[in-house]
Amino acid sequence: MNQQKDTAASVLSPMPSKVTKVMVKPGQKVVKDQPLVALEAMKMEHIIKAPFDGVIEKVHYAEGSLVPEKQKLVSFVEEAKK
């Protein structure tokens, strides 16, 4: 099954991990490099950051969830360029 479809406006999990903290909610505006989600994998914390300015559309996993590799963590829409 190809998980790359429909991921352009999403942030994906880099590896199997556990969500330890969700720092955003749907409707929230974020700026590039703003922390979105903290993951724990291999006894290390990984902070997933926004790749561009936008608005959070959906948070796909709650704190404490186990996430497989390359799954959508957060979906958002890019803000219009001014």
| Torsion angle in degrees (nearest 10) through CA of 31, 50, 8, 70 | -170
What confidence score (pLDDT) does residue 21 get?
98
The answer to whether residues 48 and 37 touch, using CB atoms and an 8 Å cutoff, is yes
Say which residue, 51 or 80, is predicted with more confidence: 51
What confidence score (pLDDT) does residue 3 get?
39
Q: What is the pLDDT of residues 41-76, one digit of tens each?
A: 989 999 999 999 999 999 999 999 999 999 999 998
Closest CA to 36 of 5, 14, 4: 14
Q: What are phi and psi of 45, to 5 degrees?
A: -95, 135
Q: How many CA within 13 A on the CB side of residue 19? A: 23
Domains by residue range for the chain, with CATH: 10-78 (2.40.50.100)
- pTM for the full predicted model: 0.83
What confidence score (pLDDT) does residue 8 get?
63
